[in-house]
Amino acid sequence: MEIKKMLFRKELKLVTLLLTSLLIATASAAVYYSLSQKSTVTIAGVDVWFKAGSDNNTGGVVVLLNPQKTVATVTGLKAYPNATQTYENTTMVHNNGGSTYSVRLRHVSMTYNSTQFAYIAFTLTTTAGSRTLNYTSDGSSWTTPSAPTTVVDLDPGEDAPVKIETKARDDAAAYGQATIEIAVDIVQ
Amino acid sequence: MADLAILPEFFSLLSVDIFLLLSLLTCLLEERFPKAVPYIYQIAALIGFGHLLVSREFLAVFGEYMRFWYSFFYLLVALGNIIAINLYLALERKMWALAKAWSGAVTFPLTVISLFFVSNYSYIQSVEFPILILQLGLVVSTVVMGVGISIFLSPDLLNKFRRRKEVNQWK
């Protein structure tokens, strides 16, 4: 009876230690696995950036670039009632890398104090094709692009112009404004 | 190549497993060890787990050099415990058969496995061990080789040593 008791005590102790050992070993392995999954991200140099286009400083259009040339602000664009105004080359997207990149246009945000526009369209043209992001108004509300454009290839060394077309409604009052922020995505 | 390399924390993980193994083995041989030993080894393994957690949280702060050395030190502590148990069984408890079995089944394989991973890591990551470790290793090897040759040449030496111990015990 005494031996049985002793055996039971030893077994119980062993099972307890075995269970805690399994728990510690599994938790440690999980922590090690999560450590090995942590990746290092290096800041890479920018290969694609903006350039001011030929429309810069003409007809009141001003293109401002940040020092890294990754943000371009275009001001002084006009829209005329019932007439399409086209700015053929406000900014250019330049590929300075050694390989072809796939790029697309994407709507980010829009603020306005008038809906008296017909449309504002942004067209990126590369040697592989063109993609357009179109903002339209029916006179009472704006319709913004719900999805990015499909991608288009931008070859090494290529300068792809961004064309902007504007048109106001024929009954539009002057001084209405719309500010649009779009992004040029590089899809890898 | 760097992606395939083991992280320095691998040595902590290995040490945790060694401590857990020691805990279970000392529990199985509980008549030969103080009762608290298996639990102490469990706590040592838990410390290793905490060690891994700290490493994960401060991965960016601690450099690879520092991470390697504290993990390696923890591995040395674990290996030291294995050898200490081996010596305890052989010298203190005079259980020669068990000590031999322990050295063949636990001490030798785990030391070889640890050496393999450490040399593999140092080869890939180009870790330079201080010359002191090499010197200590040479001294330990020389002592072990000297004792081994002495026992091999005169087997009575071991019996003499045992007898002297027994006489001292009866005094």
Mean pLDDT by 10 residues, chain A (188 residues): 64 90 94 76 78 90 90 91 92 90 92 88 94 90 91 93 92 84 86
Lowest mean pLDDT among A154-168, B10-24, B130-144: B130-144
Q: Where are the beta strands (DSSP E) in B73-164?
A: none
Q: Which residues of B touch A18 (CB under 8 A)?
A: 24
Instruction: Evaluate if residue B171 carries a pLDDT over 60.
Output: no
Contact list, B56 vs chain A (CB under 8 Å): 31, 34-35, 38
Q: In this structure, what token pair is assigned to residue B117?
A: 């991973």
B8 & B61 share domain: yes
Residue B2 is predicted with a pLDDT of: 43
B165 and B92 in a single domain? The answer is no
* Same-domain pairing of B70 and B55: yes
Number of Cβ within 10 Å of residue A95's Cβ equals 22
Strands across the sheet containing A48-52:
A48-52, A85-95, A159-168, A117-126, A129-137, A142-143
Does residue B8 sit in the same domain as residue B81? yes
On chain A, the residues whose CB falls within 8 A of the CB of B30 are 10, 13
Q: B121 and B101 share a domain? A: yes
Same-domain pairing of B120 and B51? yes
Q: Which of B9, B27, B28 sits opposite A35 (nearest CB)?
A: B9
Chain B residues touching residue A10 (CB < 8 angstroms)? 27, 30
- Give per-residue pLDDT as tens, B94-123: 888 898 889 889 998 998 899 888 888 877
Residues of A in contact with B55 (CB under 8 A): 35
Residue from B9, B22, B20 nearest B46 by CA: B20
Q: With an 8 Å Cβ cutoff, are A25 and B52 in contact?
A: no
Q: How many CB pairs under 8 A join A and B?
A: 60
> B151 and B69, same structural domain?
no
CA angle, residues A125, A131, A133, in degrees to nearest 5: 120
Residue A167: beta bridge partners? Answer: A119
Q: Is A6 on the interface with B (CB under 8 A)?
A: no
The count of structural domains within chain B is: 2
Is B29 part of the contact surface with chain A (CB cutoff 8 Å)? no
Is A44 in the B-facing interface, judged by CB distances under 8 Å?
no
ipTM confidence: 0.74
Same domain, B110 and B165: no
CB–CB contact A28 B28 (8 Å): no
Q: Based on the number of CB atoms within 10 Å of its own CB, is A161 exposed (0-12), middle (13-18) or buried (19 or more)?
A: buried
Please report where in the chains the tokens 């902007």 appear, as a residue: A164
Where in the sequence is the domain holding B35, given as residue range(s)?
2-129
Name the strand (E) or helix (H) holding B21.
helix B10-28
B53 shares its domain with B13? yes
Helix and strand numbers, DSSP H then E, in chain B: 7, 0
Give, as one character, the DSSP assignment of residue B8. Answer: T
- What's residue B69's pLDDT? 87
Report the alpha-carbon distance of residue A16 to residue B108 in Å, rounded: 28
Looking at the fold, whether B119 and B170 belong to one and the same domain comes out as no
Please say whether the beta carbons of B85 and B103 come within 8 A: no
CA pair distance B158, B96, nearest whole angstrom: 12
One-letter-per-residue 3-state SS of B113-157? HHHHHHHHHHHHHCCCCCHHHHHHHHHHHHHHHHHHHHHHHCCHH
Which of B10, B20, B56 has its CB closest to that of A24?
Answer: B20
Q: Are residues B111 and B166 in the same domain?
A: no
pTM beyond 0.80, yes or no: no
- Out of B16, B20, B27, the one facing A13 most closely (by C-beta) is B27
Are the C-beta atoms of A168 and A79 separated by less than 8 Å? Answer: yes
A27-41, A97-111, B9-23, B156-170: range with lowest mean pLDDT: B156-170
DSSP assignment of A23-44 equals HHHHHHHHHHHHHHH-----PP
Residues B76 and B103 in one domain: yes
How many C-beta atoms lie closer than 10 Å to residue B74's C-beta?
23
Average pLDDT over all residues of chain B = 83
Contact A17/B27, CB-based, under 8 Å?
yes
**Is the CB of residue A21 less than 8 Å away from at least one CB of chain B?**
yes
